[in-house]
Structures are given as structure tokens and as C-alpha cells.
Structure 1
Amino acid sequence: MPRQAREKGEFSTYHIIQRGNDRKEIFLSDHDKTRFVETLIKMKNKYNFIIYAYCLMDNHVHLLINDNGNDISKLMKSINVSYVLYFNRKYKRCGHFFQNRFISELITDDKHLIEVSKYIHNNPVKAGIVQRPKAYKWSSYGDYMGNVKSEFIDVSKVLDIFSNTRSKAIKEYQSYVNKIGNTVEIMDIKDPYENVKENTMFIDSIAHAKEILAYMLADRNLSMEECIVNKDIRNEMIRYLRKNSNLTLKEIGQVFGGISESRVSRILSR
């Protein structure tokens, strides 16, 4: 089916769902979930977007984000690429990781906002993992209850809708979240773009290769210049490009400052 244009605004809030390819797990341990949260914080600090809520399930993620003037697709790409690089390196894997492109719905008003936050925090309950949202560790619900102070979650926007008095707002929000069902239609995990492929890790151009390498090197606190000088790292990156792209040997050489096609071939044959 043809790709539908993603609805955007100048400063917009989105409910975002990103799930694993073929519904496979994207978190195999608590450390993986910790790493994803760290990635969220890192990208939040870099781009200054706002996170109202999140929930990490084993095979998908829910986010409630205000883009603060950034392009939401670029924000999600930066988050996804950083996490996938970590995951692939840790588990020595390659290929599709996330299923298609992320799906999103634009938040239209305050009622919609609080309903989506309720839905996100109830996701583990809906899945039968816990009986109450407060029992689930990997969501922002603890921030709303005042039990956790992670500092990167903005609870004010949602809680202020309930009351200007924080203690009263927390109590009313807790009661609201514990009520069964939602009163507005909310995007669910079912992906409306089943046939749309958008693998953010497959590299199809020199520009894309340089972008992906920039993420990989930043993760190691290295510059491209340092990569080119350090032959072990350079050769590792060359092999990565060969495995995860359709670039020719000549094009791979161009990515690394004009290495000859024959040298790239020798590096790959070792």
C-alpha cells in the first residue's frame, strides 16, 4: 500500500509506537531497557524535545513526545539508530530490527493527551504483566506518582490538567489511570503500514553511510578523522558497510576519504 504522509505541526505532541521486526523482542534484558532510556536522555539533551510519558515493553515502545520544533522523524531516527547500533554490537546481529517505520498519532487537545498517557501507563496491565501500573518498573508512571525522580520526564503538562496543587493532581491522576477503558480512540500496536518497509539500518547511499558512521563514531567518542587514522576501527567500519549496504567497493572507499577500490577489496578479504 502507498505510504501515508505523517501528520505534523510546527510544535506538536505525538503518541509514538515502535516495535520489533516480526514482533520480535527488542529488549532481552533490563540492561537493554536501561540503555534505551539512556539513549532517550541523550537525544533529549541534544535536541531539547519534551518527553511526557513512556513505556518499554519487551517487543515495542510507547512514547509521548513534544518535538519542540524538531522534525519528529529525525528525532526517532536518531533514537533508533543509536539503540540499534548498541543492540547489534552487543548481540552480534545484523539485518532488520525495528518493524517498518514507527507509527504515530498527533495529540489534538488536553483530553487526548491525558487519555494517551493513561493508555501508555496501562500497557503492562493490558498485557497481563502486572495488575496495577505502579507495579511496572519500565514506564514513567513512577514519575507521575512522585516515587521516581528521573528528571527527564515532564509530568507538569499532564498533572496540571487535573489540579494546580501537585498532591491533589497526583491523587486524581492515579484515580484516573486506574479507571478501566479509554473514552477516546487511541492508536494501538497494530501497524497500519504492514507493507511499508523503512529499515533505518540498511544503507543505500554515500550520504546515508556517512550519517550512520557519524552515529557509530559518536557512540565511541571518535571523529571521522580519528577513524581514518586508526586502521583497525576503519577496517571494522568498512566491513560493517559492506555487510549492511548496497554500496560498491569504490563508493565505500569514497566514504573513507578516497581509499582505492583495490585497497577496500584487500581489507574485506582479510
Structure 2
Amino acid sequence: MSSKYKMNNPEGIYFLSTAVVNWIDVFTRILYKEIVIESLKYCVKNKGMMLYGYVIMTNHIHLIIGRRPDGSAFADMVRDFKKFTSSQILNAIQDNPQEGRKEWMIWMMERAAQKNSNNTNFQFWQQDNHPIELEGDWIEQKLEYVHKNPVEAGFVREPEEYRYSSASNYAGKGGLVEVISVYDGEEI
């Protein structure tokens, strides 16, 4: 992996995207999005993640994160987040009697795992993350990009209307996960 895509600065703020293998639209179901939300809450509370912004789209997520000085290393934090969410979501898919796409999704995840020596049976997330360290105006620009994703996709008219995003936090309406403001460093 190129050093361009490593989280080398432990004090940095990073934009991170990760997608479901084959861009499967898993997050059309609330149940699966809630697993990501709960995992983000856990990482904030227990792993030292500083969450500045996020959005969960149908087949990918965007995060803007940092880490507390006493927190887990970025690589460990991201690895644990992806490993936990993938196993929990896979279990939820398998156990969901209303999941009409179950066999197809599992088949696609099995096929992805066969192509990746790091996995044995299933692969949920794509292997790469391509974190980008943000500085200065880039932080606000990426936050705006993250928040506008649901608007561009036609899900909502205004970013703060989308439930699975930090846009409502920034609009003063509260959110599903507490985030740290990129503007003043305060929890919102």
C-alpha cells in the first residue's frame, strides 16, 4: 500500500471512505445502518475515535475522524470497526427472515472472499479505505461533501433531513452519534 493512503499522523484528521464489496446496497435497511451507528458510538467511547462527520449511504460510508492521544492507533481502530461491523451485519443478513436478497448478497460476499487471501469465507467491506489527511479548508470542504451525499443521491432536500448523517448535529438538531465540531472542537 502506498504511504499516500496511510494514516501516519496520529494527530491528524482524516477523511475515510469504505464501501461494501461489489457496491451492494446493503444499507437500504435500517437494521444494518443501526449496526454501523452503534459501532461508531462504541469506537468514540472505547477506542478513542474523534468523530467529526459521517454519512451512511446505501453501499458505502464516509467518515471524518481523528483520535484522542490515548486512543487506539488509526489502523487498529479502522480494522476493528470494519471487522466488527462486517460480522454483525453478515449475521443480521443471515438471520433476517425479511431479507429477500439474502442468498444473492451472501453469494457475492463469498465470491469476494475467494479473491482475497485475507478472508476465508465472506468479505463485507472492500479491502481499501484510502484515507486522506485533511488540513485547513479541506476539513470543511470534505464535511460539506459528506453532508451533501444524501442530497445528491436524491434522498432528501436538505442535508440535515437525512437521519444517518452528522448534518443534523451541525444544524443544531442533534444526531444519532455525538460528533466533534470541525469549527470549534466542541461536542455537538
Q: TM-score, normalised by structure 1?
A: 0.54
SS at match of 2:27: coil
- Check whether the contact 2:50–2:66 (CA below 8 A) recurs between aligned residues: yes
Change (3 A) 1:144 1:34: same
- 2:165 match: 139
Mapping 1:82-231, distance limit 5 Å: 82-92=84-94, 93=106, 94-109=121-136, 111-150=137-176, 152-155=178-181, 157-158=182-183, 160=184
SS at match of 2:26: coil
- 1:268 match: none
Q: CA deviation at 1:150?
A: 4.5
What amino acid does structure 2 have at the position aligned with 1:140?
S
How many angstroms apart in 1 are the aligned matches of 2:27 and 2:10? 32
SS at match of 1:14: strand
- 1:10 match: 10
How many angstroms apart in 2 are the aligned matches of 1:13 and 1:107? 6
SS at match of 1:66: strand
Change (3 A) 1:151 1:82: closer
- 2:115 match: none
Change (3 A) 1:149 1:17: closer
Give the structure with the higher percent strand. Answer: 2
How many angstroms apart in 2 are the aligned matches of 1:103 and 1:120? 15
- Check whether the contact 2:50–2:180 (CA below 8 A) recurs between aligned residues: yes
Aligned residues with identical type, % of pairs: 19
How many angstroms apart in 2 are the aligned matches of 1:56 and 1:150? 12
- Check whether the contact 1:12–1:68 (CA below 8 A) recurs between aligned residues: no
Structure label with greater radius of gyration: 1
How many angstroms apart in 1 are the aligned matches of 2:17 and 2:42? 19
RMSD of aligned alpha carbons: 2.0
Gaps of 5+ in 1: 165-270
Q: CA deviation at 1:131?
A: 2.2
What amino acid does structure 1 have at the position aligned with 2:31?
H
What amino acid does structure 2 have at the position aligned with 1:18?
T
- Check whether the contact 1:50–1:68 (CA below 8 A) recurs between aligned residues: yes
Change (3 A) 1:104 1:26: farther
The runs of at least 4 aligned residues of structure 1 exceeding 4 Å deviation read none
Mapping 1:1-40, distance limit 5 Å: 3-5=1-3, 6-40=6-40
Higher relative contact order (CA 8 A, sep 6+): 2
1:131-150, Cα deviation, whole Å (9 max, x unpaired): 22122111011111111154
What amino acid does structure 1 have at the position aligned with 2:29?
S
- Check whether the contact 1:19–1:26 (CA below 8 A) recurs between aligned residues: no
How many angstroms apart in 2 are the aligned matches of 1:41 and 1:8? 24
Give the structure with the higher percent helix. Answer: 1
- 1:169 match: none
Q: CA deviation at 1:122?
A: 0.5
1:192-242, Cα deviation, whole Å (9 max, x unpaired): xxxxxxxxxxxxxxxxxxxxxxxxxxxxxxxxxxxxxxxxxxxxxxxxxxx
- Check whether the contact 2:147–2:159 (CA below 8 A) recurs between aligned residues: yes
SS at match of 2:131: strand
